[in-house]
Amino acid sequence: DIQMTQSPSTLSVSVGDRVTITCRASQSISIWLAWYQQKPGKAPKLLIQKASDLESGAPSRFSGRGSGTEFTLTISSLQPDDFAAYYCQQYNTYPYTFGQGTKLEIK
């Protein structure tokens, strides 16, 4: 199985900060990577797929980059609504696998 490793696991941040989360795959997944946001008690919400394609309705402050094995999710200016957990997911190879998650906490 392809292992997805996110860093950091937790990030203490403030409103207005620029935030970058990294996701590394144990083998190449080309661009077949998605980012999800999940708030407590809610289902995940798709933000980005194909590594950098922003989903319709997702705020433009979210952006994704990368290919192969290394990917990043950047929030350009953190808003109060962005405090949540973020997961990367590869959909290049079965079984699809997720990173362990990154939780954004209020500093």
Nearer to another protein, 83 or 98 (CB): 98
Q: Which residue has the tokens 């860093």?
A: 7
Hey, what are 90's tokens? Answer: 């590869």
Query: What 8-state DSSP symbol labels residue 55?
Result: P
Q: Does 55 bind another protein (CB under 8 A)?
A: yes
Q: Does 99 bind another protein (CB under 8 A)?
A: yes
Which parts of 16-45 interact with another protein (CB under 8 A)? 32, 34, 36, 43-45
Residues that bind another protein (CB under 8 A): 32, 34, 36, 43-46, 49-50, 55, 87, 89, 91, 94-101
